[in-house]
Structure formats: structure tokens, C-alpha cells
Homo-oligomer: A and B are copies of this chain.
Amino acid sequence: MGLMDTQSPWLDDDQQDVWQALLTVVIALPAALDRQLQRDAGISNFEYGVLARLSMTDEATMRLSDLARECDSTQPRLSKVMDRFEARDWVVRRPDPTDGRYTLATLTDAGREKVVASAPEHVAQVKRLVFDPLSAAQRRHLGAALTRVAATVRRELEEGRG
């Protein structure tokens, strides 16, 4: 339980196993996704996530700061992704008319076509790597546990510690 966890300076054997599996997933899964997307669509997994997130919003438009937060990105990283996307005419940036400090990013038609074209193979890869190996119950349990961890990690990064 929670108390022992932070007291001992080491991981017990069960924790070691979980941790090793998590490390492998955290290192190797992005690599596998990047390779498939790079080969088939010429974009990274992170870039796909940005396009997909934009495409799901009303008017395909978001403030950059909101987009960065929802994609778990820093602002400089997103800024440079946007440079590339604008060069390919996948998005346009313009100042938010209601508050000049913000910048609105909008997906173009070409940008939406890119997501739609890239999605099927990417989704198939995700299913093959993540969901196919799991039973329905395992999938639910994985979701429940990851949701808690994700919330903790997200809070960590937003609070600026690390």
C-alpha cells in the first residue's frame, strides 16, 4: 500500500517486473509507431497526434497553448511542429481576435485529408500492438490503471517539477 511505497528506497520484485514492462512499452512503443507512420505517411507519432487532436475540434481550430497541453507538449515543440505544418499547408495560424496574446491554429482541407489518409494504417498498428494481445478484462484494467498514472504524470509536468 501507499505508505511502504515511498518509504523503502527500492522497488520490490513485483514492482520491478511492472516497471520493466512499463519501461519497454514507454521506450519501444513510440519507436514502433514512429517507424510505421514515418514509412507510410512521412510524419511522426507526435505529429499525427497533433493533427488528429485538431481535426476532432469544432471548426478544426484551437489555441496553441490549449493544443500543447492536450498533446502533452511544450510550447516550443508545438511551435516548431506548426512551422512544418504551415510549410506543408496543413494548418494556418492567426492571432485570436478576442485576445491578441493567443494564436489560433486551424486545420486546412489538405491537413484533414492527411489525417484521414494516415489514420487507417496507424489505427491498425495501434490495435495490433496494444489491443490484440489483451483480453477485454485486461483492456479495462489497463485503462483504469493508466488513467491514474496519466493524471499523476500530467500534474507533475504542469506543476513544473520533474
Q: What is the interface of chain A, defined by CB distance below 8 A to chain B?
A: 1-2, 5-6, 9-11, 14-15, 17-32, 34-36, 39, 46, 49, 71-73, 119-120, 123-124, 126-134, 136, 138-154, 156-157, 161-162
Contacts of A153 in B (CB 8 A): 24-25, 28-29, 32, 129
Cross-chain pairs A/B with CB under 8 angstroms, 8 sampled: A5-B132, A9-B119, A9-B124, A10-B119, A27-B46, A28-B150, A130-B149, A141-B145
Contacts of A9 in B (CB 8 A): 119-120, 123-124
Chain A interface mostly: helix
B149–A133 CB distance below 8 A? yes
CB-based closest 9 A-B pairs: A35-B162, A141-B141, A18-B143, A21-B146, A142-B145, A24-B150, A133-B148, A21-B150, A27-B72
Q: How far is the CA of A9 from the CA of B124 in the complex (A)?
A: 7
Contacts of A20 in B (CB 8 A): 150
Copy number in the complex reads: 2
Q: Which residue of B lies closest to A6 (CB)?
A: B127
Contacts of A152 in B (CB 8 A): 128-130, 132-133
B126–A11 CB distance below 8 A? yes
Q: Which residue of B lies closest to A148 (CB)?
A: B133
Contacts of A24 in B (CB 8 A): 72, 146, 150, 153-154
Q: How far is the CA of A5 from the CA of B126 in the complex (A)?
A: 10
Q: Which residue of B lies closest to A34 (CB)?
A: B162
B162–A132 CB distance below 8 A? no
